[in-house]
């Protein structure tokens, strides 16, 4: 009879743990994966903005230094209306340069420097989610509390009813 109680104890304890563990780990891992996807999207958006910034800085440089570029741009914007034969070019002296130094740029965040905290767990959970698509039941707000209660009740029942001190008969 003692062997059956021990078997039932371990069966209830491990079943409760098997139900409770995914309820605790899976939602955090899914949120972590969503944050990684958001970070990748932000890095791609940052790269696009940096590319656009370089293009705009080059255009500003050409506007300041290349009169032919300014004329082409004006003709493109306003058409051939600028080609008046009796027009006079008026040169404007540039404003004095501001010698105030720019503040230093903050150090750049390297998105490739941050890795998984526990890459083995992350790889295992990714395989589990791909292999068992219904694993999201452990993370859904409607079913998760019930599964956590069931797992907790199994563990508490195993410990209170069947768990006895080792030397006590």
Q: What is the C-alpha to C-alpha distance for residues 21 and 159, in angstroms, rounded to an integer? A: 17
How far is the CA of 116 from the CAs of 28, 37, 113, 122, 153, in angstroms?
13, 13, 10, 7, 33
Nearest CA to 23 among 125, 144, 158, 108? 144
pLDDT at 127: 85
- Low-confidence stretches of the chain (pLDDT beneath 50): 109, 111, 167-169
pLDDT at 11: 92
Q: What is the C-alpha to C-alpha distance for residues 77 and 75, in angstroms, rounded to an integer? A: 5
CB atoms within 10 A of CB 23: 21
**Please, which residues have CB within 8 angstroms of residue 69's CB and are 6 or more apart in sequence?**
62, 63
Q: What is the C-alpha to C-alpha distance for residues 25 and 121, in angstroms, rounded to an integer? A: 10
* pTM (two decimals): 0.56
Structure tokens at 62: 């050409």
pLDDT at 152: 93
CB atoms within 10 A of CB 164: 13
pLDDT tens digits along 102-125: 556 555 545 455 556 667 777 887
């Amino acid at each position: 009879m003692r062997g059956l109680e021990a078997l039932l104890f371990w069966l209830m304890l491990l079943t409760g743990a098997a139900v409770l563990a995914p309820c605790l780990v899976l939602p955090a891992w899914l949120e972590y994966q969503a944050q990684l996807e958001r970070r990748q999207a932000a890095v791609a958006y940052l790269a696009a903005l940096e590319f656009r910034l370089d293009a705009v800085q080059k255009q500003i440089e050409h506007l300041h230094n290349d009169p032919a570029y300014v004329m082409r741009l004006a003709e493109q914007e306003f058409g051939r209306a600028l080609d008046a034969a009796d027009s006079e070019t008026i040169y404007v002296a540039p404003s004095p340069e501001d010698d105030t130094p720019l503040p230093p740029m903050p150090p750049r965040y390297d998105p490739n420097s941050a890795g998984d905290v526990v890459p083995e767990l992350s790889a295992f959970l990714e395989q589990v989610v791909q292999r068992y698509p219904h694993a999201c039941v452990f993370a859904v707000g409607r079913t998760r509390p019930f599964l956590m209660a069931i797992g907790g009740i199994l563990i508490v029942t195993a410990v209170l009813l069947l768990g006895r001190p080792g030397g006590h008969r």
